[in-house]
Structures are given as structure tokens and as C-alpha cells.
Amino acid sequence: MLIIGERINTSRKVKGEPVIENAVRARDAQFFIDLAAKQCEAGATYIDVNAGTLLEGEPDAMEWLVTTIQGALDVPLAIDSPSPAAIERALKVHKGQAMINSITAEKDRYNNVLPLAKEYETKLIALAMGDDGIPPDACGRMTVGRELVSNLTAAGIKIDNIYADPLVFPIANGAEFGLAVMDTIRTFKAEFPGIHASAGVSNVSHGLPQRKFLNQAFTVMCMTAGLDAAIIDPMDKQLMALVYATEALLGHDDFCMTYLEASRAGKFE
């Protein structure tokens, strides 16, 4: 499974403090090199970079984050921003194939992000939402997602570069929200052979105590439905152990080699 490390996000707080945002404002290069390196060592395939809380300063910050991290590490990044200007600045300096997080069926967002995805030949997380917002059930999300993916492939985006995201809502707000995600993943995979499915799985536990248990269980459940990419914390050893174990049990790990290598490397608790 493709793991997108979620830790470099200026909205994330540590013990209530905006540690990530403060480090970006201070241009603390070593802080981000170390944080990216730790995520890579823990199993991340891509590192998500998000500086959305900086508002007017976001384009400069995103360019700086990309050049700083890739100046020290050979790792691809997921450019996570609602701002096309910030995405473009980041892509101009990115080495290798980047991922854009994300595109939607919203008219303005689609028209601004699609040209960037084509020009830079990126991977692309496609959110199942449009100008009317996020549909509450799997049927509604598939209606939007189906049109979005069809439009992307018609525009020349390779299906293998599309990561359909069903959007994860907190189950504290509705008992059916977890099931809707899994239903949407299954349908995407059935209707669009070769497409990938991604999700920010930790959203499922917002507002509940002991969130890590819900996140771990939901990740495994979504993988059985076809999830093959996830924005998660790779430094959660228990979560990563479950990912490796689930990949092996689903037959995605020939002779359990990845599982064995991770175990020998001490990546399991």
C-alpha cells in the first residue's frame, strides 16, 4: 500500500501548540528534514506537505518546504493545498513525480488543478465532492466521483495516476459514515479497473477518545474493501504493523517478504 505521511501539516498541533506552523514561519529546515526522514524510515512512500494555515504566505512556504525536503532526501511529495498558486509553485521545484492533494468536481477547482496535473504529469487524489458539497452516502459520492474520474481520463489523465478518495466523515456524527466509505471504495474499484483508492482514514475518529484504535481498525477494514493508499501517521508502529499484516493476508505481499523485512528491521512493536 502507498503510505502518505501526514505529519507535515501546519494545522497539526502538538500539545495544543502550532509547532509545525511555527517551524515553517521560522524556516527551520532541519526540523522538516528530520520529520520527513523519520516518516520515510517508518514506511512512508510519499510525504504530504501542507502549509494552508499561512494563507498569503502559503505559496512561498510550499516552495520552501519542497526544496528543503528534497534537497536532503530522495522522496516524492504530496502537494496538499486548496490554492492552485501554491500547488504550482511547489510543482515547479519538485523532483520526480509529485502527487497533487487534491482535485474535486467543483468547477473552479477542477479547471485550475487539471492543467497542473497534466503539465507536471502528477499523481492525483480525486475527491468525490462537487459544487453542491459532499454527498452523505455512497450512492451520491459515486455519482460525483464517477463523473469526476470519467472527465479526468477523457482529459488524458492516466487511470493509474488517479487516487479516488471517498471522503471520510467522523462516525461520531453518523454511524453509517464508515460503511459509506467502504461501499464507495468497492464501487470505484469495480467500475474503474486500474484506479487507486485513497483516504485520510484518521478523520473517522474525530471527536472520540482513544482515536488510534478506531484509526487502526478502520484502516484494515478499508484495505479489505480495496484501499491501496492512505494518508496516515507512519510513525504509529501498531498501525504500520497492521498495514503490513493486512497486505500479507490479502495476498499483496509475495511470500510475505515485505512483512518479514519490516519485522527484521524492528518496525513492529
End-to-end CA distance of the chain: 20
The average pLDDT across 150-162 equals 98
The average pLDDT across 107-121 equals 98
Which grid coordinates belong to 202?
484518521
Q: What pLDDT, on a 0 to 100 scale, did the predictor assign at position 138? A: 85
The average pLDDT across 32-54 equals 97
Mapped onto helix, strand or coil, the DSSP state of residue 88 is: helix
Q: Are strands 162-165 and 2-9 parallel, antiparallel or unpaired?
A: unpaired
Residue 262 has pLDDT above 80, yes or no: yes
The average pLDDT across 63-83 equals 97
Which grid coordinates belong to 201?
482514514
Q: How confident is the model at residue 137 (pLDDT cuts 50, 70, 90)?
A: confident
In order, the DSSP letters of 171-233 are GGG-TTHHHHHHHHHHHHHHHSTT-EEEE-GGGGGTTSSSHHHHHHHHHHHHHHHT--EEEE-
Number of Cα atoms under 13 Å in the Cβ half of residue 151: 19
Q: Return all residues near 11 (Cβ < 8 A) that are at least 6 apart.
A: 20, 21, 50, 52, 53
Instruction: State the Cα–Cα distance between residues 134 and 144, nearest whole angstrom.
Output: 9
Instruction: State the Cα–Cα distance between residues 39 and 24, nearest whole angstrom.
Output: 18
The model's pLDDT over 165-176, given as tens digits with 9 standing for 90+, comes to 999 999 999 999
Q: What pLDDT, on a 0 to 100 scale, did the predictor assign at position 266? A: 86
Q: How confident is the model at residue 14 (pLDDT cuts 50, 70, 90)?
A: confident
Which grid coordinates belong to 205?
475518529
Which sequence spans correspond to the domains of the chain? 1-96, 97-235
Residue 151 has pLDDT above 90, yes or no: yes
Classify burial at 39, counting beta carbons within 10 Å of its beta carbon; exposed 0-12, middle 13-18, buried 19 or more.
buried
Q: What is the mean pLDDT of the chain?
A: 96
Q: What pLDDT, on a 0 to 100 scale, did the predictor assign at position 68? A: 98
CA-closest candidate to residue 235, choices 49, 57, 40, 21? 40
Q: What pLDDT, on a 0 to 100 scale, did the predictor assign at position 218? A: 97
Residue 269 has pLDDT above 80, yes or no: no
Q: What percent of the chain is modeled with pLDDT above 70? A: 100
The model's pLDDT over 190-239, given as tens digits with 9 standing for 90+, comes to 999 999 999 999 999 999 999 999 999 999 999 999 999 999 999 999 99
Residue 257 has pLDDT above 90, yes or no: yes
In order, the DSSP letters of 110-142 are HHHHHHHHHHHT-EEEEES-BTTB--SSHHHHH
Among all chains, which residue has been given the C-alpha cell 479526468? Answer: 152
Instruction: State the Cα–Cα distance between residues 105 and 76, nearest whole angstrom.
Output: 25
Domains 1-96 and 97-235 equal at CATH topology level: yes
Classify burial at 24, counting beta carbons within 10 Å of its beta carbon; exposed 0-12, middle 13-18, buried 19 or more.
buried
Q: Which CATH architecture has domain 1-96?
A: Alpha-Beta Barrel (3.20)
CATH 3.10.20.740 fits 97-235, yes or no: no
Number of Cα atoms under 13 Å in the Cβ half of residue 72: 16
Q: How confident is the model at residue 34 (pLDDT cuts 50, 70, 90)?
A: very high
